[in-house]
A and B are shown apart, each in its own frame.
Chain A
Amino acid sequence: AQSVTQLDSQVPVFEEAPVELRCNYSSSVSVYLFWYVQYPNQGLQLLLKYLSGSTLVKGINGFEAEFNKSQTSFHLRKPSVHISDTAEYFCAVSDKRDGGFKTIFGAGTRLFVKA
């Protein structure tokens, strides 16, 4: 069965420090992987995605993520965070089944950047 686990529900970090938000998944087939960001009272916005090719993917706002097939992980990183990065981050995995794509979202990680 398909599942997504975000290992940290909250991550506090000081401004300009590096951050890593962890995501592990399970699936029996090839997957597409995504990270989304949600600011308060807004919808989700796609940060980055892994479909195929290079395992290191770069996204918007200076974020990047690395697909590790052996570890079944897709951790999100940023070398230096800003106050404006405070938001909730969702990892998602999508695979093709029954003629369409099924996507599962993780429970989310709340990133809190402190001055």
Chain B
Amino acid sequence: DGGITQSPKYLFRKEGQNVTLSCEQNLNHDAMYWYRQDPGQGLRLIYYSQIVNDFQKGDIAEGYSVSREKKESFPLTVTSAQKNPTAFYLCASSLSGHGYTFGSGTRLTVV
């Protein structure tokens, strides 16, 4: 079945450590997105990519980085510059604006 796979499901980060969240899709979608969700809040866009080797900052890109070397993969790195990284992170893909397919999310906690 086609879909989006996010891993790991749970991730713990120590202070000052960089961590990378994986997102892989086999839907042949061109566009991919990373959102952050905090308790009781909606989704905030971190980064998005419309095509391979190109990506743009979203509304809250500071402290995050991404790459898009393959169509199927859009990993997100949470750097030490992100001062409040504890959140639920969602990856999504879409085809020409016809709605998103979301992964099951990664819950990141700072310890």
Measuring CB to CB, which residues of chain A are less than 8 angstroms from any residue of chain B? 32, 34, 36, 41-46, 49, 51, 90, 92, 94, 96, 99-101, 103, 105-108
- Name 5 interchain pairs, CB-CB below 8 A, sorted by A: A32-B97, A42-B104, A44-B43, A101-B97, A108-B41
Inter-chain contacts of B50 with A (CB < 8 A): 99-100
Q: How far is the CA of A100 from the CA of B107 in the complex (A)?
A: 29
Cβ A43 vs Cβ B90 within 8 A? yes
| Shortest distance from the beta carbon of A59 to any chain B beta carbon, whole Å | 11
Q: How far is the CA of A106 from the CA of B90 in the complex (A)?
A: 16
Given contacts A41-B107, A44-B102, A100-B50, contact A90 B42 (CB under 8 A): yes
Cβ B90 vs Cβ A44 within 8 A? yes
Question: In the complex, which residue of chain B has the Cβ closest to the Cβ of A46?
Answer: B99
Q: How far is the CA of A45 from the CA of B105 in the complex (A)?
A: 12
Inter-chain contacts of B101 with A (CB < 8 A): 46
Q: Is the interface of B mostly helix, strand, loop or mixed?
A: strand
Cβ B42 vs Cβ A51 within 8 A? no
Given contacts A51-B98, A100-B31, contact A42 B105 (CB under 8 A): yes
Q: How far is the CA of A34 from the CA of B90 in the complex (A)?
A: 17
Inter-chain contacts of B99 with A (CB < 8 A): 32, 34, 46, 49
Cβ A43 vs Cβ B43 within 8 A? no
> Is B94 close to A, CB under 8 A?
yes
Inter-chain contacts of B105 with A (CB < 8 A): 41-43
Cβ A43 vs Cβ B102 within 8 A? yes
Q: How far is the CA of A28 from the CA of B16 in the complex (A)?
A: 43
| Shortest distance from the beta carbon of A29 to any chain B beta carbon, whole Å | 12
> Is B84 close to A, CB under 8 A?
no
Cβ B43 vs Cβ A101 within 8 A? no
